[in-house]
Amino acid sequence: MGLNQYLILSAFLFCCGVYGVLARRNAVLVLLSVELMLNAVNINLVAFSAFTKQIAGQVFALFVITIAAAEVGVGLAIVLLIYRNLHSPDLDRVDQLKG
Amino acid sequence: MLRNAWIIPLLPALGFVVVLLFGKRLPRKGAEVAVASVGASFVLACIVLVQWVQRVEDAPAHGALRGFGRALLPTQEGGVAAVDRSFTWWENGRVNFGVGIHVDGLAVMMLFMVTLVSLLVHVYSTKYMEGDRRFTHYFALLNLFTASMLLLVVSDNTIQLLVGWELVGLCSFVLIGHWWEEKPNADAAVKAFLTTRTGDVGLMIGIIILFFAAGTFDIAAINGEVLGGDISHTLLVVAASGLLIGIIGKSGQFPLHTWLPDAMAGPTPVSALIHAATMVVAGVYLGARLYPVFFSGFSIGDGGLNAMAIIGGVTIFVGAVLAFVQRDIKKVLAYSTISQLGYMVMALGIGAWVAAIFHLFTHAFFKALLFLGAGSVSHSGSHHSFDMRDDMGGLRKYMPITFVTFVIGSLALAGIFPLAGFWSKDEILVTAGRTGFDFFLYVGLIGAFLTAAYMTRCVYLTFFGEYRGHGEPHESPPAITVPLVVLAGFSVLAGFTNAGALGIEKFKDWFEAGVALPPLQHADFEVVKAVVSVSFAAIGIGIAAFFWFQREELNPLRGLTRRNPYAGAGYRLLQNKFYLDDLYEKVIVGGIKGPVARGTYWFDQHVIDGAVNGVARVTARLARVAYDVVDQKVVDGAVNGIAETAGETGGLLRYVQSGRVQRYALTLFAAVAALSLALWIVY
């Protein structure tokens, strides 16, 4: 297996993530899509690390996973508050900052 | 001590501050501080006197130091230089305003005389003013009065002299109006203040002219330049005339003498101080201090008539005549002071400088004595009245010390041999005969005659006959009699300092030294004139005694004013003080109050107010234009324009701000995609 297969998979996952982030209205699913994008990046990092025989890429991937966990913690807390206040996870209704 | 003579005025000035601030809390209400400060000044003045006398006596004989340069300003007496000390107060351009002392014979004499009389007046006042409601205030001002006069005496420049001069005037104003609750007293104070102020205008003019003529305010320098002939005669005439007006106002000379009798409204010790030591002699002192100006300005050396001598001569006569019709003992003395000041000014006017200040010196003692004696009479004899006809008479039995001292003072004033007044008056008369002023010799003799007569009347009404008052007359306490005795002693002895007949001329030697004087003629004692002047005085006493001591029915002169219309008219003229007060109050003041005041009011209303209102109207119109155009249109337009621009821009931008996160994210990704595409194409 060459590098390209990994990169294609990663690009596919990233595009799925972007689509989710831009198109889904449910806040939880948007968060999940963000996770998809992050993991697409992780695949890229690990793949390049293996391809170039440099360990730094895998270390970065570990950092990304850790940060992603923290991010999900904060993100879910925000979603929870949105739900409590609006009684709905619909992101289209979160437009109080409209100019 | 001569170099530190500035301490002498400083002490009473400090006393003034201390008494004013803390006097009421002190056990004797501040009187002790006041007396102590003047007492200390007196001691210092005595030291100055002794040192000066030593300096004069030790000096080399006549003229030995002459020509040692201008700094010494050698007088014709030789080389005793005045002590000068000054520092710059402030400087403006090349004009130097200094503060300093100039101690010469004249100043030393005045320092001694002023502090002595003032000390006695202070002591006297502790008893006389006891229980007064403004006791502390009174002593504070008495101190300031003394300090101001001493400042005037030691000053070395005309500005400082003017400061002292005005302070003296201010203090006399406040002290004359000491009992201001009664309207006449307050009026008298205002009259004194305004009348002397009239004269002060002349003084200011004189000082200013002398400054521009000599280029300096320094008195010694001015005198030096005048003596050196550096100043044109015309300027000197104007300057001397201005200064003479100042003297007329301050020293109660005709025609501005009217304030002096009214000044009797003040407490009696104040009258003594005003008349003997501090206020009125300031004018004569000015004349003596700037004598070269007068001498050259009025051409005194040439003999003949001049303004100064005429004013003095007229004043002698006016004062003496008016003294006859007064019922108030203090007013008799006041007119007597006017008359005696006339002698001094006349003496200056006829070139008898030494005689003038000698008379000033002796007069201070016997006039202070007479005033304090009158105060003693009112304090203990007549129940606080000064009316000789209704409340006095026969007091010699009850008040022996006051009686004896008063008689000594009267005799000294009348110029009876060998009391002080004899020597000084005689010196004036002799000099008048010598310097070609024969006319004024006769004026002086008539004055001596009148003086003796009115003092006889005064003594008779007060001390002889039956007691006409309602109180219980008794002798005054020691605080009052001791100053009387001291002054009586000086009234007897002071004349012997310059007794020409005995060959003593110490007064001239001591107090002429260091003074810059023009060449003066010195008069030697003349037996004939002395005899004539004493006999004039004796005749005066005799006629007055005949008139007053005779029993009513035997006296042909009694009731003359009722029987004879001319005598009656003369009496009324005197009663109304030659109508001078009427002239001032009705014609001058009334004239100003009437048409002049109305004219000024019209001018004020129409011209000045018109101008002011016009300026205001123009300003308001300009302001309206500025408001409409500049403020409303330019400034507000700019501010509002900026705000509107910002608002419109914001209104356009608000559509971008949808509040939807996903729309932002879409923009973000689209931008990233576009940038990536662009970069790919470029590379």
Tell whether B666 is within 8 A of chain A (Cβ): yes
For the stretch B341-371, pLDDT in tens is 888 888 888 888 888 888 888 888 888 888 8
Reported confidence tier of residue A8, pLDDT bands at 50, 70, 90: very high
Cα B364 from Cα A34, distance rounded (Å): 118
For the stretch B456-483, pLDDT in tens is 888 887 887 777 777 777 777 888 888 8
Residues 63-102, chain B, touching A (beta carbon < 8 A): none
For the stretch B302-322, pLDDT in tens is 766 788 888 888 888 888 888
Q: Which of B654, B657, B669 sits opposite A18 (nearest CB)?
A: B669
Cα B365 from Cα B409, distance rounded (Å): 8
For position B77, what pLDDT does the model report? 46
Q: Which residues of A touch B656 (CB under 8 A)?
A: 99
Q: Which residues of B touch A94 (CB under 8 A)?
A: 659-661
Q: CA quadruple A19, A21, A26, A31: dihedral positive or negative?
A: positive
Checking if the pLDDT of B675 tops 60, the result is yes
Nearest CA distance, B636 vs chain A (angstrom): 28
Yes or no, beta carbons of A21 and B659 under 8 Å apart: no
Instruction: Pick the most confident of B2-6, B84-88, B465-469, B664-668.
Output: B664-668
Cα B106 from Cα B512, distance rounded (Å): 7
Reported confidence tier of residue B22, pLDDT bands at 50, 70, 90: confident
User: Which residue on chain B is closest to A20 by alpha carbon?
Assistant: B662
Instruction: Pick the most confident of B201-215, B250-264, B589-603.
Output: B201-215
Mean pLDDT computed over every residue of chain B: 81
HEC string of B233-282? HHHHHHHHHHHHHHHHHHCCCCCCCCHHHHHHHCCHHHHHHHHHHCCCHH
Mean pLDDT of A18-23: 90
Yes or no, beta carbons of A30 and B662 under 8 Å apart: yes
Cα B80 from Cα B505, distance rounded (Å): 17
Nearest CA distance, A24 vs chain B (angstrom): 9
Q: CA quadruple B204, B207, B211, B212: dihedral positive or negative?
A: positive
Q: Which of B655, B658, B669 sits opposite A95 (nearest CB)?
A: B658
Instruction: State the DSSP code for B71.
Output: G
Checking if the pLDDT of B549 tops 70, the result is no
Checking if the pLDDT of B246 tops 60, the result is yes
HEC string of B456-482? HHHHHHHHCCCCCCCCCCCCCCHHHHH
Q: Which of A21, A22, A97 sits opposite B659 (nearest CB)?
A: A97
Read off the pTM.
Answer: 0.70
Lowest mean pLDDT among B83-97, B227-241, B287-301, B364-378: B83-97
Checking if the pLDDT of A16 tops 80, the result is yes
- Per DSSP, the three-state class of B85 is strand
Q: How far is CA B82 from CA B68, B72, B73, B447, B516, in A?
A: 14, 8, 8, 35, 9
Between A75 and B429, residue with greater pLDDT: A75
Reported confidence tier of residue B69, pLDDT bands at 50, 70, 90: very low
Q: How far is CA A37 from CA A42, A49, B284, B563, in A?
A: 9, 18, 116, 145
Nearest CA distance, A56 vs chain B (angstrom): 26
Yes or no, beta carbons of A22 and B655 under 8 Å apart: no
For the stretch B33-58, pLDDT in tens is 888 898 999 998 888 888 888 888 87
For the stretch B181-191, pLDDT in tens is 888 888 888 88
ipTM: 0.84
Q: Which of A22, A96, A99 sits opposite B662 (nearest CB)?
A: A22
Checking if the pLDDT of B445 tops 90, the result is no
Q: What is the CATH number assigned to the segment(s) A3-91?
A: 1.10.287.3510
For the stretch B108-128, pLDDT in tens is 888 888 999 888 888 888 888
Checking if the pLDDT of B563 tops 70, the result is no
- Domains of chain A, by residue range, sit at 3-91
Checking if the pLDDT of B552 tops 60, the result is no
Yes or no, beta carbons of A95 and B654 under 8 Å apart: no
Mean pLDDT of A34-57: 92
Q: Which of B657, B665, B666 sits opposite A98 (nearest CB)?
A: B657
For position B332, what pLDDT does the model report? 84
Lowest mean pLDDT among A34-48, B170-184, B521-535, B643-657: B521-535
Tell whether B653 is within 8 A of chain A (Cβ): yes
Tell whether A16 is within 8 A of chain B (Cβ): no
Alpha helices by DSSP H, B435-477: 438-463
Tell whether B671 is within 8 A of chain A (Cβ): no
Best to test chain B binding among A26, A31, A95 (most B CBs inside 10 Å)? A95
Tell whether B673 is within 8 A of chain A (Cβ): no
| The two structure tokens encoding residue A1 | 């297996």
- Per DSSP, the three-state class of B157 is strand
Q: Which residues of B touch A17 (CB under 8 A)?
A: none
Reported confidence tier of residue B556, pLDDT bands at 50, 70, 90: low
Query: What percentage of chain B carries pLDDT values higher than 70?
Result: 88
CB contacts < 8 A, A to B, total 34
Residues 42-71, chain A, touching B (beta carbon < 8 A): none
| Inter-residue contact B352 to B427 (CB < 8 Å) | yes
Lowest mean pLDDT among B217-221, B470-474, B556-560, B671-675: B556-560
Checking if the pLDDT of B100 tops 60, the result is yes
Tell me the Ramachandran region of residue B231: left when phi exceeds 0, alpha when psi lies from -120 to 50, beta otherwise.
Answer: beta
Tell me the Ramachandran region of residue B299: left when phi exceeds 0, alpha when psi lies from -120 to 50, beta otherwise.
Answer: left
Q: Which residues of B touch A27 (CB under 8 A)?
A: none
Lowest mean pLDDT among A64-78, B61-75, B323-337: B61-75
Cα B389 from Cα B397, distance rounded (Å): 17
Checking if the pLDDT of B648 tops 90, the result is yes
Lowest mean pLDDT among A47-51, A66-70, B197-201, B582-586: B582-586
Query: What percentage of chain B carries pLDDT values higher than 90?
Result: 7
Q: Which of A21, A30, A98 sits opposite B658 (nearest CB)?
A: A98
Between B70 and B517, residue with greater pLDDT: B517
